[in-house]
Amino acid sequence: MHPTPTTPPTAPAATGRRPRRTRREGSPVTLLAVPALVWYLLFTLGPLLAMFYISGLSWPGMLAPRSWAGWENYRAVLDDPLFWQAVRNSAIQIGVVLPVMIVAAFMVGYYLTLKPRGHRLLRVVLFTPALISASAKAMMAYSVLAPNGMLNGLLDTVGLGGLGRAWLADTDTALACIMAIDLWNGIGFTAVLFAARLGSVPEEIYEAAELDGAGHWRRMWRIAFPVTKDYVGVTTMLQFLWILFSSAQNVLLLTQGGPGNATTNLSFLVYNKAFVQSDLGYSQAAGVLLFGVGLVGMLAIRRLLRQNY
């Protein structure tokens, strides 16, 4: 009878503790993560490394023989005026779209947190671009911007038909159209993200400032922004990558880089050289440079928008 009361408290404690300990320190269970890891590395890291390798090959088309070219492709890329035009177009695109998008989205996000009349409906509307695929968005943009599309029709209706033009086929407006689509696409959803983050800012922080009579403008930039700077930074980084890399889709579907090369940006150049002009070495050398631009830009944004308190 005596041992029974003493054993139960120790026995469960021992069985409860022992497996936990052995499990938590590099046990075979960690092996369950291996298939996912292998899958991920095979389809992401593998192709990424291959990009560096291919950039050193002379490879004029998939079925053509390939040979080692060393730095030849990089020299060709850097000597190519088209590459520099693509750099310029990408720089304009990022330089205009990113600041406008983030500032506008932050303001709309702040506006949402004030719960003005109709904010529920507004939130649903702002989600729209996040649901629609790139090809459907491009088809919609085409139907709006084509010579006999919605925009020209509207201008005609209000008596400004003289302003109408083939927006996507005009050297002066084609790149602006691609940028407008980026903004159309990005502001709404980013604003909802900011609103979600701003919603978790404790009310006391605002209240403290309100007693000093701060208006919305000051509340927004002096309080809300510094408090959420880190989140804004990460979002900016992701939007930067998105605009830099994924706008190839819009260019491909809407302008094919034209008219002339007015809308050829870096990501479209990488696509076009590989799949239209079949110069895989050139394409991947440009791809490596683009990857470098993405990396540097990301670090710069991280530095610029780091939480500093």
Report the site for another protein in 85-124 (rule: CB under 8 A).
Answer: 104, 107-108, 111, 116, 118, 122-124
**Interacting positions 273-292 with another protein (CB under 8 A):** 274-275, 280, 283-284, 287, 290-291
Residues 153-172 that bind another protein (CB under 8 A): 153-154, 156-157
Query: Does residue number 57 form part of the binding site for another protein (CB under 8 A)?
Result: no
By CB under 8 A, name the one of 82, 103, 223, 238 that touches another protein. Answer: 238
Q: Is 20 in the site for another protein (CB under 8 A)?
A: yes
Q: Which of 25, 81, 158, 162: binder of another protein (CB under 8 A)?
A: 25
14 contributes a contact to another protein by CB under 8 A: no
Question: In the set 39, 68, 71, 84, which binds another protein (CB under 8 A)?
Answer: 39
Q: How far is the CB of 1 from another protein (least distance, A)?
A: 25
Give the residue, chosen from 188, 262, 263, 301, that forms a contact with another protein under the rule CB under 8 A: 188
Question: Does 64 sit near another protein (CB under 8 A)?
Answer: no
Q: How far is the CB of 234 from another protein (least distance, A)?
A: 5
Is 307 a binding residue for another protein by CB under 8 A? The answer is no
Q: Is 176 in the site for another protein (CB under 8 A)?
A: no
CA separation for the pair 23, 38 (Å, rounded): 22
By CB atoms closer than 10 A (0-12, 13-18, 19+), residue 3 is exposed
* Amino acid at the residue 188: G
Q: Is 222 in the site for another protein (CB under 8 A)?
A: no
- Measured from the Cβ of residue 161, the count of other Cβ atoms closer than 10 Å reads 12
Q: How far is the CB of 283 from another protein (least distance, A)?
A: 6
